Amino acid sequence: MHSRQWIVFSDQILRVSVLAAATVVLLLAGCRQDMHNQPKIIPQRGSEIFADHRGARPQVANTAARGQLHADSYYYSGVVEGVAGYKMEKELMPFPVTLDVLHRGQERFNIYCTPCHSRVGNGLGEIVQRGYKPAANFHDQVRLSQPLSHYFYVMTHGYGAMPDYSAQLNVEDRWAVAAYIRALQLSQAATPADVPAGAKVQELKAIAKAHGHEEFADPWPRPQTAVQAYKPIASEGTPGMAPAYPADPAIKTQTAK
């Protein structure tokens, strides 16, 4: 190879090498940890920014997060402060009860409550008939005497074997269900005297037969899949029996001497 050609070829190799080296340097420069080690507060870690060296800061006094003001405490809790600071339930809806509210309450009740309490609220839901603990009967003396907001409170916090339903039912829907439970109690205890004058009164059996559903006219038999998973406890009731303890628990108070 001619010496001049060799010099030109060597010069090209040098340029390529310099370009490759520069590319490697740029790539390495782009791999710095500045984006990884950002000056930010990481949850559950300490911090040198604040005097107490805590990354998590306490909430500023007298402030509320957006959407969490909850100025109407009864609407969100179902209780008011009673004597000596005790929580007290009330027979009061925090907003007017319309037919739309009752329809919404009926829809939510049928979805979330009937598996345990049944559609008429007697505690004989389908899963109770298959071994679950008997649910509350809304028509016994105890439940009839409980304030309306009691149902809202139980749906919010749960009670006994019943979990809370605050995730499934928003605040307004819980109140709608509570209103529907009260309407359900009235409907199951209704008499012909409660019907407006001139209105025709029919038995449910007759209506079922008129619509071609004679299978609904008589008591439904227990399904073949109904089981008793655990040994019955008399005080708690058994599947297919409601209410749990006893048929109509009486409210008893201590007699003053």
Q: Is the pLDDT of residue 242 over 50?
A: no
Q: The domain that contains 153 carries what CATH number? A: 1.10.760.10
In a domain, 182, yes or no: yes
- CB-CB neighbours of 94 under 10 Å: 15
Q: Name the pLDDT band for 156 (thresholds 50, 70, 90).
A: very high
In sequence order, which residues have a C-beta less than 8 Å from that of residue 222 and are 6 or more positions away? Answer: 129, 240
Q: What is the pLDDT of residue 3?
A: 56
Q: Is the pLDDT of residue 7 over 80?
A: no
- At residue 114's C-alpha, the angle toward residues 109 and 116, to 5°, is 130
Q: What is the mean pLDDT of the segment spanning 250-256? A: 50
Helix and strand element counts for the chain (H, E) = 8, 2
- At residue 199's C-alpha, the angle toward residues 196 and 205, to 5°, is 115
Phi (first) and psi of residue 181, to 5 degrees = -60, -40
Q: Is the pLDDT of residue 208 over 60?
A: yes
DSSP 78: S
Between 27 and 232, the more confident residue is 27
**C-alpha dist (Å) from residue 57 to 39, 43, 47:** 16, 10, 10
Q: Is the pLDDT of residue 35 over 70?
A: no
In a domain, 230, yes or no: no
Q: What is the mean pLDDT of the segment spanning 176-182? A: 97
In a domain, 134, yes or no: yes
Buried b (16+ CB within 10 A) or exposed e, 184-201: beeeeeeeeeeeeeeeee
Q: What is the pLDDT of residue 182?
A: 96
In sequence order, which residues have a C-beta less than 8 Å from that of residue 14 and are 6 or more positions away? Answer: none
Q: Is the pLDDT of residue 121 over 80?
A: yes
Supply the DSSP string of 102-139, one letter for each residue.
Answer: HHHHHHHHHHHTHHHH-TTSSS--TTGGGTSPPPP-TT
Q: Which of 112-116, 120-124, 161-165, 246-250 has the lowest mean pLDDT?
A: 246-250
The terminus-to-terminus CA distance of the chain in angstroms comes to 127
In a domain, 172, yes or no: yes
Q: What is the pLDDT of residue 214?
A: 80
Q: What is the pTM for the complete model shown?
A: 0.63
In a domain, 154, yes or no: yes
Q: What is the pLDDT of residue 48?
A: 82
In a domain, 80, yes or no: no
**Number of domains present in the structure of the chain:** 1
For 139, the domain range is 99-190
In a domain, 239, yes or no: no
In a domain, 3, yes or no: no
